[in-house]
């Protein structure tokens, strides 16, 4: 992945986010944290809907380091 916004691949970013969410869901379910898992699952559905609708996204690089 690159930090250059003109070459940022939104699909790749979204897929990485969905994979991270899936990992988090697996952990939450294994810990019995069903309410938190449901909220995260809804966030994933909402993100997918916005991607499908063609919404504009802003990518902010991690500036914490």
Euclidean distance between CA atoms 25 and 17, whole angstroms: 12
> Residue 61 gets which letter from DSSP?
-
Q: In degrees rounded to 5, what are phi and psi of residue 55?
A: -60, 155
Q: For 25-43, what is each residue's pLDDT tens digit?
A: 999 999 999 999 999 999 9
Contact yes or no for 6/22 (Cβ under 8 A): no
How many CB atoms are closer than 10 A to CB 33?
A: 14
> Is the pTM higher than 0.75?
no
User: Is 35 or 9 the better-scoring residue by pLDDT?
Assistant: 35
Mean pLDDT of 9-20: 90
User: Is 63 or 22 the better-scoring residue by pLDDT?
Assistant: 22
């Amino acid at each position: 992945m690159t930090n250059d916004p003109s070459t940022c691949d939104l699909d790749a970013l979204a897929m990485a986010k969905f994979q991270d969410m899936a990992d988090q869901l697996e952990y939450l379910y294994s810990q019995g944290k069903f309410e938190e898992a449901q909220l995260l699952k809804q966030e994933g559905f909402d993100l997918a809907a916005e991607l499908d609708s063609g919404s504009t996204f802003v990518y902010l690089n991690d500036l914490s380091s």
